[in-house]
């Protein structure tokens, strides 16, 4: 099973991806986690990514694609995975299509978590991760970047007929039950 979980900041992608990973026994690949680890360990990539994220911007496509392609070479991803935080732009999605194509694989599902903007802002402010961009102004910028640059990725995958829209409002368990329902249909 190869799945992309998608939605705006604060939609619950990481939480749901962890549950899917456990339920279906597939690894969870989070570009955000890879970046946060690099930042915490102050690697060259981490320092570069930190300055980009501190400005509320997206990491350049070629850097993200190279990172994901390199990670997917690990044998643990051979039987499937859930991607969280990738692809975020149409060029990343097209590059990912090529990565799958080279391996003779296809995407099984693109899960779109739908959450109203007010709820997103409340969630981000209350989750207390202490990210340097978790201020109302920076959150608004991240959401604007998402709607303008990331949302077109949804249209890319709608053309491939793999999109499953999920109501992302409710308890973690309620949302996860909706996700599981989409796989059983």
- 127, 140, 158, 180: the catalytic one is 127
**Tokens 């077109």 — which residue?**
152
* Domain 2-179 in CATH 3.40.50.2000: no
| C-alpha–C-alpha distance, residues 179 and 20, integer Å | 9
Q: What is the DSSP letter of 113?
A: E
Render pLDDT for 40-71 as a digit per residue (tens, 0 to 9): 888 887 888 888 888 877 788 988 888 888 88
- Is 127 catalytic? The answer is yes
CB 92 within 8 A of CB 4: no
Quickly list DSSP for 151-176. Answer: THHHHHHHTTT-EEEEE--S-HHHHH
- Is 76 catalytic? The answer is no
Render pLDDT for 17-45 as a digit per residue (tens, 0 to 9): 999 999 999 999 998 888 887 788 888 87
Percent of the chain with pLDDT over 90: 52
Least Cα distance to 120 among 102, 104, 136, 105 occurs for 136
Render pLDDT for 103-141 as a digit per residue (tens, 0 to 9): 999 999 999 999 998 898 888 888 766 566 677 788 888
Considering the entire predicted model, what is its pTM? 0.84
Render pLDDT for 136-164 as a digit per residue (tens, 0 to 9): 788 888 888 888 877 899 999 999 999 99
- 50, 63, 123, 131: the catalytic one is 131
């Amino acid at each position: 099973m190869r799945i992309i979980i998608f939605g705006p900041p604060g939609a619950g992608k990481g939480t749901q991806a962890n549950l899917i990973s456990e339920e279906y026994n597939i690894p969870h690949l989070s570009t955000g986690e890879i970046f946060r680890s690099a930042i915490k360990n102050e690697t060259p990539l981490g320092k570069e990514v930190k300055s980009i994220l501190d400005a509320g911007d997206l990491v350049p496509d070629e850097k993200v694609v190279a990172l994901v392609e390199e990670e997917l070479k690990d044998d643990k991803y051979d039987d499937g995975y859930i991607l969280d935080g990738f692809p975020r732009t149409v060029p990343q999605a097209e590059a990912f299509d090529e990565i799958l194509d080279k391996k003779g694989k296809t995407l099984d599902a693109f899960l779109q978590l739908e959450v109203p903007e007010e709820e997103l802002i409340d969630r981000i402010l209350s989750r207390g991760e202490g990210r340097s961009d978790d201020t109302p102004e920076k959150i608004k910028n991240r959401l604007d970047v998402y709607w303008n640059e990331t949302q077109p990725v949804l249209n890319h995958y709608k053309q491939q007929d793999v999109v499953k829209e999920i109501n992302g409002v409710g308890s973690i368990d309620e949302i996860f039950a909706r996700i599981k329902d989409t796989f059983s249909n």
